[in-house]
């Protein structure tokens, strides 16, 4: 009995370490220790969450179970039986890959996420739409990160969001592997016996256990440079747009607390600000956003001429890749430009503007080209080879690249995560490939049009069922004969 109490106490402490862990590695370590102590195997994905719940009964744990139980009750998951037997591979542990993983696990699928890095290091801050805040709170966000969207705050650093989603994913028995890179799909071999291998993934390192798992579903969530074959990309080419992001150390002093944030949408219309900025500093911007988060985060779109005038860009090239190549950028001048814009933008009220340090140990400032943005032409396809079918889908930036200053990445990314989970559910129900694809493409047509205004307002009712999120939904606008080319019965390219 004494031993049990001691064990309970220790488990409570390990759980606390897990909840508090502030790095990707620390989270995985504390989770493994906890599972070892409780003698639980997360690979028993069908029973893991329930077993964990009965074993962890501290008030902190119970408060989290109450939240998560409410979620697992959604009728779409069919008590975790909707996708039992379906094996899903998710490429990329960014916010959208992780969010998709959680939904698939709640549907009862076996879910494996591979992430090529082993750190969550992006300080940059994501704008959250009200529904995403509601969604994350419903998954217990505040239990993991007490400061999550307190008061009027509607943003979170990418790093913090990944951390929180990883913890939730682990609790619902998602397998998460770091330092594993997806290379390509491997089709099933010909002339095999019935129990021969199915669709697999070539990964690095090649001898990793994930290499020998057969998958029914593969989801590309590896960011803007999607590595999955077979998806054509549409380019949206606008006028030259150069974005700069900058993160400064937030010491959380009273003086810093008083400085007002700049919400991008409202600010775009404030012409006087931009004229004054140009006159006083020579900096010419189209927009600027400032969020006070773990760092003081700024994202701004700068006009090329002012970057040339201020010596940030050295030579004027028409080719944007050459224009923004590291050899053509004066890093010191870029730091100065970002700092001056941040100082002016906050009316010189931030007492110190010391750059936060990025994953490479450098001041966290970056310049990106937004002239071209890409979207995949299609959201999913089905491959069939030697009697084995594979459902392949894209989510997040791989599917639809966001324009960061507008903050659509996470919001539309999560909608696509839910739509993809819905598709996997349909797939598991035994619907035909064309039925599944036609519905998915119909939903994908809606995605680029979504705004905070035109999606459903009753967040409490949101589930993976698209009808709960998209008012006036017509989920048959794409017909089956329009998606025949997405059902590929043949060799991989
Ligand atoms: P990502 O967050 O890009 O995650 C993709 C993940 O896949 C990464 O963890 C990557 O390591 C992993 N990966 C890639 N290739 C492989 C592979 N072959 N095998 C395994 N894993 C792989 N949005 C904003 O609104 N504001 C910003 O300031 C901002 N800054 C950004 C800075 C950077 C450097 C990047 C890459 C993106 C930024 N974004 C920003 C976009 C924003 O991060 C995304 O919209 C959001 O994170 C959702 O993206 P995602 O999960 O689809 O992809």
Q: Show Cβ contacts of residue 109 under 8 Å, excluding neighbours closer than 6 positions.
A: 83, 84, 86, 87, 88, 217, 424, 428
CA distances from 376 to 226, 306, 381, 393, 395 (A): 9, 33, 12, 11, 10
Q: Which value, in Å, is the radius of gyration of the alpha carbons in the chain? A: 24
The per-residue pLDDT for 281 is 97
Going from the Cα of 137 to the center of ligand 1, the distance in angstroms, rounded, reads 22
Choose the residue to mutate in 117, 123, 128, 158 for probing ligand 1, maximizing ligand atoms within 8 Å of C-beta: 158
With a 6 A CB cut-off, is 115 part of the ligand 1 pocket?
A: yes
**Residue 221 CA to ligand 1 centre (angstroms):** 8
Q: Note if the pTM is more than 0.95.
A: yes
- Whole-angstrom Cα distance, residue 211 to residue 203? 6
Q: Is 114 a pocket residue for ligand 1 (Cβ < 6 Å)?
A: yes
Residue 405 beta carbon below 6 angstroms from any ligand 1 atom: no
299 ligand 1 Cβ < 6 A: yes
Q: Which atom of ligand 1 is nearest to the CA of 203?
A: 19
CA 255 to chain centre: 33
Q: What is the largest CA-CA distance in the chain?
A: 75
Measured in angstroms, how far is the CA atom of residue 409 from the centroid of ligand 1?
9
The ligand 1 atom at the shortest distance from the C-alpha of residue 407 is 25
Tell me how crowded residue 490 is: count the other CB atoms within 10 A of its CB: 9
Tell me what pLDDT residue 225 has.
Answer: 85
Mutate which of 92, 183, 246, 412 for ligand 1 pocket (most atoms within 8 A of beta carbon): 92
CB of 215 closer than 8 Å to CB of 324: no
Residues with Cβ within 8 Å of 201's Cβ and at least 6 positions away in sequence, in order, are 89, 91, 114, 182, 183, 184, 185, 186, 210, 211, 213, 215, 218
The answer to whether the complex's ipTM is over 0.85 is: yes
Query: What stretches in the chain show pLDDT beneath 70?
Result: 1-3, 192-194, 265-268
Within 8 A by CB and 6+ apart from 56, the residues are 11, 12, 15, 38, 65
Q: In what order do the strands lie in the sheet with 87-91?
A: 175-178, 110-115, 87-91, 217-220, 388-394, 380-385, 487-489
User: Quick one: DSSP state of residue 25?
Assistant: H
The sign of the CA dihedral 286, 290, 291, 295 is: positive
Please report how many Cα atoms fall inside a 13 Å half-sphere around the Cα of residue 220, on the Cβ side: 26
Atom in ligand 1 nearest the alpha carbon of residue 406: 25
Distance 96 CA to ligand 1 centre (A): 9
Q: Residue 400 and residue 436: Cα distance in Å, rounded?
A: 20
**Angle, CA 404 vertex, CA 393 and CA 440 arms, to 5°:** 20
Structure confidence at residue 1 (pLDDT): 39
Please answer whether residues 96 and 224 qualify as being in contact, where contact means their C-beta atoms are separated by less than 8 angstroms.
Answer: no
C-alpha span between 87 and 84 (Å, rounded): 8
Whether ligand 1 lies within 6 angstroms of the CB of 409 is answered as yes
Q: Is 223 in the pocket of ligand 1 (CB under 6 A)?
A: yes
Cβ within 8 Å of residue 414, ≥6 positions away: 95, 96, 99, 131, 132, 135
- For residue 161, report the distance from its CA to the centre of ligand 1, in Å: 12
Tell me which residue of 385, 89, 61 sits closest to 218, measured CA to CA.
89
Q: How far is the CA of 181 from the centre of ligand 1 (A)?
A: 14
Closest atom of ligand 1 relative to the 92 alpha carbon: 7
Q: What CA–CA distances, in Å, run from 485 to 443, 446, 476?
A: 18, 21, 17
Q: Which two tokens stand for residue 200?
A: 């697999």
Ligand 1 pocket, 122 CB below 6 A? yes
Other CB atoms within a 10 A radius of the CB of residue 314 amount to 15
- Residue with CA nearest ligand 1 atom 43: 158
Q: How far is the CA of 326 from the centre of ligand 1 (A)?
A: 21
Q: Strand 380-385 vs strand 388-394: parallel, antiparallel, or unpaired?
A: antiparallel
Distance CA(303)–CA(186), nearest Å, equals 45
Q: Are 337 and 283 in contact (CB under 8 A)?
A: yes
């Amino acid at each position: 009995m004494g031993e049990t109490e001691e064990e309970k106490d220790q488990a409570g402490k390990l759980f606390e370490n897990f909840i508090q862990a502030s790095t990707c590695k620390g989270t995985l370590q504390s989770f493994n220790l906890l599972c070892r102590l409780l003698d639980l195997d997360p690979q028993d994905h069908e029973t893991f969450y329930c077993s964990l719940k009965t074993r962890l009964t501290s008030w902190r744990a119970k408060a989290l179970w109450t939240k998560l139980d409410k979620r697992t009750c959604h009728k779409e998951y069919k008590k975790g039986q909707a996708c039992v037997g379906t094996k899903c591979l998710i490429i990329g542990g960014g916010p959208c890959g992780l969010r998709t993983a959680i939904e698939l696990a709640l549907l009862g699928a076996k879910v494996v996420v591979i992430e090529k890095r082993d750190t969550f290091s992006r300080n940059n801050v994501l704008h959250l739409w009200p529904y995403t805040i509601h969604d994350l709170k419903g998954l217990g966000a505040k239990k993991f990160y007490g400061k999550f969207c307190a008061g009027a705050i509607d943003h979170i650093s990418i790093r913090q969001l990944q951390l929180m989603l990883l913890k939730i994913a682990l609790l619902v028995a998602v397998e998460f592997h770091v330092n594993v890179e997806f290379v390509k799909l491997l089709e099933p071999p010909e002339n095999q016996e019935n129990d021969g291998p199915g669709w697999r993934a070539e990964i690095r390192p090649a001898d990793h256990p994930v290499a020998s798992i057969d998958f029914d579903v593969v989801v590309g969530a590896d960011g803007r440079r999607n590595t999955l074959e077979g998806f054509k990309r549409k380019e949206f080419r606008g006028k030259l747009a150069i974005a700069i992001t900058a993160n400064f150390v937030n010491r959380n002093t009273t003086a810093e607390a008083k400085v007002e944030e700049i919400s991008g949408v409202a600010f775009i219309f404030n012409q006087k600000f931009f004229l004054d900025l140009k006159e006083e500093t020579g900096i010419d911007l189209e927009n600027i956003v400032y969020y006070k988060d773990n760092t003081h985060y700024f994202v701004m779109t700068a006009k090329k001429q002012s970057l040339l005038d201020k010596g940030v860009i050295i030579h004027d090239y028409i080719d944007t890749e050459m224009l923004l190549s590291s050899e053509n950028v004066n890093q010191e001048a870029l730091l100065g430009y970002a700092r001056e814009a941040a100082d002016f933008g906050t009316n010189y009220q931030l007492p110190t503007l010391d750059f936060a340090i990025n994953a490479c140990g450098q001041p966290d400032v970056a310049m990106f080209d937004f002239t071209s943005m890409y979207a995949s032409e299609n959201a999913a396809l089905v491959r069939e080879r030697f009697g084995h079918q594979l459902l392949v889908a894209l989510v997040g930036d791989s599917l639809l690249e966001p324009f960061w200053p507008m903050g659509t990445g996470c919001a539309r990314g999560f909608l696509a995560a839910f739509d993809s989970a819905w598709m996997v559910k349909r797939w598991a129900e035994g619907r035909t490939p064309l039925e599944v694809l036609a519905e998915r493409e119909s939903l994908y047509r809606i995605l680029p049009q979504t705004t905070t205004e035109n999606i459903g307002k009753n967040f409490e009712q949101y589930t993976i069922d698209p009808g709960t999120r998209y008012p006036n939904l017509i989920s048959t606008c794409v017909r089956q004969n329009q998606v025949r080319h997405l059902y590929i019965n043949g060799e991989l390219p």
